[in-house]
Structure 1
């Protein structure tokens, strides 16, 4: 299993929107960055990701699961762009802010800190566990 981070502007598509989609999930569409697209192409069903509110809040608020692998993005006719489908799994008990991540030992090389503009990022297993603990999840 691999781990990821999905960034979204909460006033456009936030955690509550994702939760409302339930088990059906939602396409992570509209990504127009080759590196982010390639990250989605590498995803497998069952991979987990953090749901990050960018711009407003700048915090990790929940966990999502990839429920469909990469397929053509339905928001464009351009064949270069794909997207996965994700569904909400659980909220963090307490949001983990970008500032908290920057201060946390073990996260200094996290893509969220090193490559802040990338909308879909890999997360290492060690980073995954650290952020989960910071968010109040222990299992």
Structure 2
């Protein structure tokens, strides 16, 4: 099992949205960065756990956790000309973008804001702290455990 951090703007798709989706399961789609796509396609596996991170908002940080419940599959938004994620260079025969399904696990008892993550010495090497921009990024088991403790979550 691997651990990941998935970023989402809460006005587009929040942890609460995921919790309220069908069986608390939603499609993680709209990824249009090749490095993030490659991680989804090649590295993220069913059963992996996810830190659900709210970005580009007033309260930036880890809101809770989710679990990967499907293998990657072609993102249907890439084929829809009405979607902001439409890609005219993609086709059903040769899709460029993938998505997968995640399921809500738990909300942080204590929201874990980015400034706290940056101030936690044991997280200095976390990709979020060092490079930050990637919407999907691996998290080490130690980093996962520290975030879980900061959020007062069950490991």
* TM-score range relative to shorter protein: over 0.9
Which runs of structure 2 are paired with 1:50-69 in the superposition (5 Å)? 50-56=51-57, 57-69=59-71
Give the CA RMSD over aligned residues. 1.2
Which position in structure 2 is the counterpart of 1:14?
14
Gaps of 5+ in 1: none
CA distance, structure 2, for counterparts of residue 23 and residue 62 of structure 1: 17
User: Which residue of 1 is the match for residue 83 of structure 2?
Assistant: none
Q: 1:75 aligns with which of 77, 82, 91?
A: 77
User: How far does the alpha carbon of each residue in 1:26-57 deviate from its partner, in whole angstroms, 9 at most, with x for none?
Assistant: 11110000111111121111100000000111
Q: CA deviation at 1:24?
A: 5.4
Q: Give the corresponding residue for 1:29.
A: 29
* Partner SS state of residue 76, structure 1: helix
TM-score by length of 2: 0.86
> Which 4+ residue blocks in structure 1 deviate beyond 4 angstroms?
none
**Bigger Rg, structure 1 or 2:** 2
Cα separation, 2, equivalents of 1:138 and 1:66: 18
For residues 19 and 40 of structure 1, what CA distance do their matches in structure 2 show? Answer: 21
SS for the counterpart of 1:64 is strand
CA distance in 1, matches of 2:23, 2:126: 29
Alpha-carbon distance, 1:23 to partner: 3.0
Q: Does 1:85 align with 2:101?
A: yes
Q: What is the CA-CA distance between 1:117 and the residue it aligns to?
A: 1.2
User: TM-score, with normalisation over the residues of structure 1?
Assistant: 0.95
The verdict on how the C-alpha distance between 1:103 and 1:63 changes in structure 2, with shifts beyond 3 A counting, is same
Q: Which moved more, 1:89-98 or 1:23-32?
A: 23-32
Separation in structure 1 between the aligned mates of residue 96 and residue 36 of structure 2, nearest angstrom:
12
Distance 1:95 1:22 in 2: 24
